[in-house]
C-alpha cells in the first residue's frame, strides 16, 4: 500500500505558531524533506522532534528528486515536506511532488498553518470577498505587464516583494497615475519588528524613501473596484 505525502505548514517567524498536528507528523514521518535543513533543524529542536531523516528538497533539486520520492511513497513510506517558512507550494517547492503523488494515486494531506499573504491581506483592511495572489513578480521580463495587470484588477491583489524593490514598485504605481490608490505594506509578520502600513501609495512611497525597507515584505494593493468607489 502507498504511503502518504504530508505538506506541513511551519511558522513564518513566531515559533509558537506551529500546530500540534504538524509536530506529530514530523515526529512520525519516515522522511522529512526540508528546503533548508539547517533552518528546519531549528524548528525540530524547538519542538524536540527527532525526525527519522532530514533531507534537502529545494528549488535546485526538486525536479531531480520528484521521481525518487514518488517511488518511496509508492513503496509505502510516509513523507513530510516543509519549506523554510509558511506553507509548502505557496511560492515555495512542493507543487511538483504533490502533482506527482496525486497522479500516482498517492494520498496527499495538507497540514494547514502559517502563510505570509493571509495575515497581510487581513491587516490591509481592504475588501476580501475576492482577492488575487500574485506571488513574486518576475524581476525583469514581464514585470511591467504584471504590475499593469494588477492596477486594472478589480479585486484586492497581494504579492511578495523584496525590500530592495518596494520603492521601485510603489514608484511605478505612482508614475502610472495611482498615487491616490491605497496599498498596504506588511513587514516581518509575527516577528518582533512586525509592522503594517496602509496608506495612499504616494504616502507609502514618501515613507519608504525616507526609511530603508528592511526584512520580509508582503504588499497588498487595493482593488480597482474599491478604489473607484472611494474616489467617486
Q: How far apart are CA 56 and CA 166, in angstroms?
A: 31
Q: Which of 77, 99, 199, 216 binds ligand SAM (CB under 6 A)?
A: 216
In whole angstroms, how close is the CB of 143 to ligand SAM at the nearest point? 16
Secondary element (H or E) of residue 185:
strand 182-187
Closer residue to ligand SAM, CB minimum distance, 90 or 98: 90
Q: In sequence order, what DSSP letters do the residues of 17-37 get, joined into one string?
A: G--HHHHHHHHH-SEEEESSH
Residue 191 in contact with ligand SAM, rule: CB under 6 A: yes
Q: How far apart are CA 108 and CA 8, in angstroms?
A: 11
- Per-residue string for binding with ligand SAM, 100-119, x by CB under 6 A? ---------------xxx--
Residue 12 in contact with ligand SAM, rule: CB under 6 A: yes
Residue 131 in contact with ligand SAM, rule: CB under 6 A: no
Site size for ligand SAM (CB under 6 A): 22
Closer residue to ligand SAM, CB minimum distance, 12 or 66: 12
Instruction: Please identify the residue of the shown chain whose CB is closest to the bound ligand SAM.
Output: 86
Nearest to 12 by CA among 188, 213, 200: 188
Residue 92 in contact with ligand SAM, rule: CB under 6 A: yes
Count of CB atoms situated within 10 Å of the CB of 67: 11
Residue 196 in contact with ligand SAM, rule: CB under 6 A: no
Cα diameter, the chain: 62
Residue 13 in contact with ligand SAM, rule: CB under 6 A: yes
In whole angstroms, how close is the CB of 88 to ligand SAM at the nearest point? 7
Q: How far is CA 78 from CA 26, 42, 124, 142, 209, in A?
A: 10, 22, 39, 39, 49
Residue 93 in contact with ligand SAM, rule: CB under 6 A: no
Closer residue to ligand SAM, CB minimum distance, 34 or 90: 90
Q: How far apart are CA 199 and CA 179, in angstroms?
A: 10
Residue 83 in contact with ligand SAM, rule: CB under 6 A: yes
Q: How far apart are CA 93 and CA 98, in angstroms?
A: 10
Closer residue to ligand SAM, CB minimum distance, 217 or 227: 217
C-alpha cell at 132: 488575487
C-alpha cell at 95: 507543487
* Contact residues for ligand SAM, defined by CB under 6 A: 12-13, 83, 85-87, 90-92, 115-117, 160, 186-191, 216-218
Amino acid at each position: 500500500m502507498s504511503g502518504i505525502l504530508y505538506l506541513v505548514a511551519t511558522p513564518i517567524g513566531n515559533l509558537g505558531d506551529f500546530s500540534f498536528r504538524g509536530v506529530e507528523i514530523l515526529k512520525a514521518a519516515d522522511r522529512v524533506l526540508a528546503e533548508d535543513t539547517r533552518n528546519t533543524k531549528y524548528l525540530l529542536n524547538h519542538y524536540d522532534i527527532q525526525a527519522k531523516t532530514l533531507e534537502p528538497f529545494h528549488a535546485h533539486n526538486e525536479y531531480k528528486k520528484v521521481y525518487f520520492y514518488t517511488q518511496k511513497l509508492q513503496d509505502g513510506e510516509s513523507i513530510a515536506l516543509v519549506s523554510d517558512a509558511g506553507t509548502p507550494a505557496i511560492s515555495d517547492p512542493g507543487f511538483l511532488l504533490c502533482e506527482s503523488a496525486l497522479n500516482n494515486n498517492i494520498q496527499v494531506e495538507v497540514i494547514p498553518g502559517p502563510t505570509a499573504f493571509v495575515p497581510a491581506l487581513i491587516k490591509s483592511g481592504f475588501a476580501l470577498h475576492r482577492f488575487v495572489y500574485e506571488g513574486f513578480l518576475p524581476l525583469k521580463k514581464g514585470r511591467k505587464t504584471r504590475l499593469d495587470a494588477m492596477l486594472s484588477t478589480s479585486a484586492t491583489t497581494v504579492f511578495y516583494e523584496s525590500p530592495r524593490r518596494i520603492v521601485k514598485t510603489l514608484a511605478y504605481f505612482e508614475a502610472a497615475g495611482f498615487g491616490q490608490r491605497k496599498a498596504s505594506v506588511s513587514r516581518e509578520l509575527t516577528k518582533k519588528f512586525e509592522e503594517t502600513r496602509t496608506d495612499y501609495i504616494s504616502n507609502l512611497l514618501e515613507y519608504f524613501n525616507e526609511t530603508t525597507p528592511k526584512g520580509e515584505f508582503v504588499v497588498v494593493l487595493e482593488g480597482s473596484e474599491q478604489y473607484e468607489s472611494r474616489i467617486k
